Amino acid sequence: MQPVQAPYPATRHRRARTTAALRALTQEVTLSPSDFIWPIFVTEGEGVMEPVPSMPGVVRRSVDMVAEAAREARSLGIPAICLFPYTPMERRTADCAEAWNPDNLSNRATRAIKDAAPEIAVMTDVALDPYNIDGQDGFVRDGYVVNDETVDALVKQALSQAAAGADIIGPSDMMDGRIGALRAALEAEGHANVALLSYSAKYASAFYGPFRDAVGASGALKGDKATYQMNPANSDEALRLVARDLAEGADMVMVKPGMPYLDICRRVKDAFGTPTFAYQVSGEYAMLAGAAENGWIDGDRTMMESLMAFKRAGCDGVLTYFAPRAARLLNG
């Protein structure tokens, strides 16, 4: 509720905008490097920093360079890194066994970060798409992504990530019942303090295009993900999914994509007051970085404005490919 205000000229809203000092004092939300989770693409090799063509400024890094990134995150004040593996094509199979290989790319990168900068929180992605010949997040049976059998595999994947040292498990698969299954398995296997950041409201979005290039899943993907990811037309459903995931043991929740779904962020925060994150996804990054590269918009200012919007919408933090660049700017 807004307080009743005297009419003009007793109330001149421009007074509080007159000087930089007044504007700073009356600013409602702030942005800090500690708001960011930095998504990083991992690939095989050594000393590799391979540009992702559809994401100007973003690279795939070999595990040794991920360790470098962790040291960079620490010096910039970024608290967390989220790992996405570019699995070599020959390790992608119908049974997705590479997903729970203790020595897969994601697990090796987790250990490398924990060696290089143990205070950085490692978040890992739970979903089968980087390991699946179908490019789908779960097992495909007769053209349908099956739920329960997929959840059993996701549990194996998450346990291997926790054993490697992951601090935050991020299930991005959108299967039903996975949060409860993961929570129970983590408790049973001695990982009671591993946090679950559930991609609770993840939409079937065209904004994921550049990401699928980055992890090599776009060529592999057969069909779409509409039978498990949400319909972009829905909003009440997001609240039901968040309520369900919190009841099953999620510690934090995510809305994804970010900018086109700020209304969902606000509704989730207002309804639950739970730690709420947004993922400013690859297509959002590509729009901003691509337009800036062409000189059509001011890259730094649109980046900061877009990130501030997440805070204003009620988010506690944001997964963003801009994390190091925005942190550098904020640190002066």
Between CA 117 and CA 75 the distance in angstroms is 10
Residue 103, token pair as written in the block: 């020595």
Q: Are 43 and 60 in contact (CB under 8 A)?
A: yes
| String of contacts with ligand PBG for each residue 202-221, x by CB under 6 A | ------x--xx---------
Question: Residue 228 and residue 62: Cα distance in Å, rounded?
Answer: 31
C-alpha 314/C-alpha 268 separation (Å) is: 9
Residue range at the interface with ligand PBG (CB under 6 A); choices 7-15, 59-67, 122-130, 156-164? 122-130
- 256 as an active site residue: the answer is yes
User: Which lies closer to ligand PBG via its Cβ, residue 106 or residue 172?
Assistant: 172
Which of 117/276 has CB closer to ligand PBG?
276
Q: Name the one range near ligand PBG by CB under 6 A: 65-73, 114-122, 124-132, 158-166.
A: 124-132
- Is there binding between residue 92 and ligand PBG (CB under 6 A)? no
Which residue carries 């800090």 as its tokens? 32
Which residue of the set 114, 202, 225, 269 is catalytic? 202
Give me 70's structure tokens: 């962790």
Minimum CB separation of residue 166 from ligand PBG in Å reads 15
- Give least dist CB 118 to ligand PBG, A: 25
Phi, then psi, of 193 in degrees rounded to 5: -95, 10
> Residue 22, Cβ neighbours under 10 Å: how many?
12
Residue with smaller CB distance to ligand PBG, 16 or 206 = 206
The answer to whether 127 contacts ligand PBG (rule: CB under 6 A) is yes
65 near ligand PBG, rule: CB under 6 A: no
User: Given the rule CB under 6 A, which of 68-76, 123-131, 146-154, 292-300 is the region that contacts ligand PBG?
Assistant: 123-131
- The one among 106, 282, 306, 320 contacting ligand PBG by CB under 6 A: 282
Active site residue 202: yes
CB atoms within 10 A of CB 44: 15
The count of residues in the chain is: 332
Q: Give, as ranges, the residues between 130 and 169 that touch ligand PBG (CB under 6 A).
A: 137
Q: Does 281 bind ligand PBG (CB under 6 A)?
A: yes
Tell me the three state secondary structure of residue 202: strand
CB of 17 to ligand PBG, least distance (A): 35
Active-site residue, from 114, 225, 256, 269: 256
The answer to whether the bond into 118 is cis (omega within 30° of 0) is no
Query: Does residue 261 bind ligand PBG (CB under 6 A)?
Result: no
The residue (of 73 and 116) whose beta carbon lies closer to ligand PBG is 73
CB of 274 to ligand PBG, least distance (A): 21
What minimum distance in Å lies between the beta carbon of 211 and ligand PBG? 3
Element (H, E) at 61: strand 59-61
For position 123 contacting ligand PBG by CB under 6 A, the verdict is: no
Q: Can residue 129 be called a binding residue for ligand PBG (CB under 6 A)? A: yes
Are the beta carbons of 159 and 184 closer than 8 angstroms? no
Q: Dump the DSSP string for 3-52.
A: PP-PPTTT--GGGGGSSHHHHHHT------GGGEEEEEEE-SSSS-EEE-
Question: What is the rounded distance in angstroms from the CA atom of residue 90 to the CA atom of residue 178?
Answer: 28
* Least distance CB 26 / ligand PBG (angstroms): 34
Smallest CA-to-CA distance from 216 within 88, 107, 90, 125 is with 88
**Min separation Cβ 282 and ligand PBG, Å:** 3
Closest CA to 187 of 171, 201, 175, 169: 169
| Binding-site ranges for ligand PBG (CB under 6 A) | 125, 127, 129, 137, 172, 208, 211-212, 225, 281-282
Q: Which residues are catalytic?
A: 202, 256
